[in-house]
A = this chain, B = another copy of it.
Amino acid sequence: MSITPTIERVVRRLETRAPLDEADRDGLRALPFVYRSLDAATYLVREGETPEYCMMLLSGFAYRHKVTGQGDRQILSVHMPGELLDLQNSYLAVADHNVQALTRVELASVPIAALQALAASRPQIARAMWIDTLIDAAIFREWIVNVGRRDSITRISHLLCEFALRLRAAGLGDEQGYTLPMTQEQLADATGLTPVHVNRVLQELGRRSLIDRQKRAVTIVDWDRLRRVGDFSSRYLHIERGGPTTIESAA
């Protein structure tokens, strides 16, 4: 809060994707960028736009979503501090989905041209960004499975497991729990359920002593059982490289 976040967090995160040397790191630090602090719910990218900046999320959370013709929203992914938003939209002419701030966010907007130039001159950076995108895609695939073939209890449990591991990898949230930055309505839009049903499922998970919650703070009471109930395997997150990646037995 008191310390202005820097792009160091982004550098460190990118290093978990592919090894970088000091010149690579300096290249990232030398990127031109505009610092911005935005309120929750602000749109960072709108479907149909042609983005000119790639945003680095320095603090706070963001999410991608689409809205159907019937007005239903589907959340596609949730992003955590240190992540590069919109490598997705950066190389394609027109954004095919929205990116919105989930909480208050601080971000560094880097001109796409500068980012592309850096990627061209530093192969390891290109490689790290490439791998980062591949992992994003791996998470999209898992979400297809989650909404397509899992029942509501499994689905919510799975999402809670994913958040636990990703928050931990991001250096947030401690061993056994974390504070969900999402409302139950947003949880519903991420899982293809209704807010009412999400509420009932969360209560059920509490009744089964899998989680415990006070407001948005989720305590994972029994990681291993939650993992099994959520049909969760961390394989798709591809977080084997450095950093603390296990909560007890993460697999």
Q: Which residues of A contact B (CB under 8 A)?
A: 47-48, 64, 66, 68-70, 72-74, 76, 87-88, 91-94, 96-97, 120, 123, 126-127, 130-131, 133-138, 140-145, 147-150, 191-192, 228, 231, 235-236, 238, 240
Complex: chain B residue closest to A151, CB-CB? B70
Give this chain's copy count.
2
Report the minimum CB–CB distance from A128 to chain B (whole Å).
10
Assuming A97-B141, A147-B144, A192-B148, is B136 touching A68 (CB within 8 A)?
Answer: no
Could you tell me if B240 and A141 are in contact, using CB atoms closer than 8 angstroms?
A: no
Assuming A73-B149, A148-B74, is B192 touching A134 (CB within 8 A)?
Answer: no
A120 to B238, CA, bound (A): 23
A147 to B123, CA, bound (A): 37
Q: List 12 A-B contacts (CB under 8 A).
A: A47-B235, A68-B149, A69-B231, A70-B231, A91-B130, A133-B137, A137-B137, A144-B147, A147-B148, A147-B192, A148-B191, A148-B192
Could you tell me if B192 and A149 are in contact, using CB atoms closer than 8 angstroms?
A: yes
Contact partners of A191 in chain B: CB under 8 A: 148
Main SS at interface, chain A: helix
Report the minimum CB–CB distance from A125 to chain B (whole Å).
13
Could you tell me if B231 and A138 are in contact, using CB atoms closer than 8 angstroms?
A: no
Could you tell me if B231 and A68 are in contact, using CB atoms closer than 8 angstroms?
A: yes
Contact partners of A145 in chain B: CB under 8 A: 66, 68, 74, 76
Could you tell me if A68 and B137 are in contact, using CB atoms closer than 8 angstroms?
A: no
Complex: chain B residue closest to A126, CB-CB? B126
A74: contacting residue among B96, B130, B133, B144, CB under 8 A: B144
Could you tell me if B240 and A93 are in contact, using CB atoms closer than 8 angstroms?
A: yes
Could you tell me if B130 and A64 are in contact, using CB atoms closer than 8 angstroms?
A: no
Report the minimum CB–CB distance from A118 to chain B (whole Å).
13
Contact partners of A144 in chain B: CB under 8 A: 74, 76, 140, 143-144, 147
Assuming A133-B134, A148-B74, is B192 touching A96 (CB within 8 A)?
Answer: no
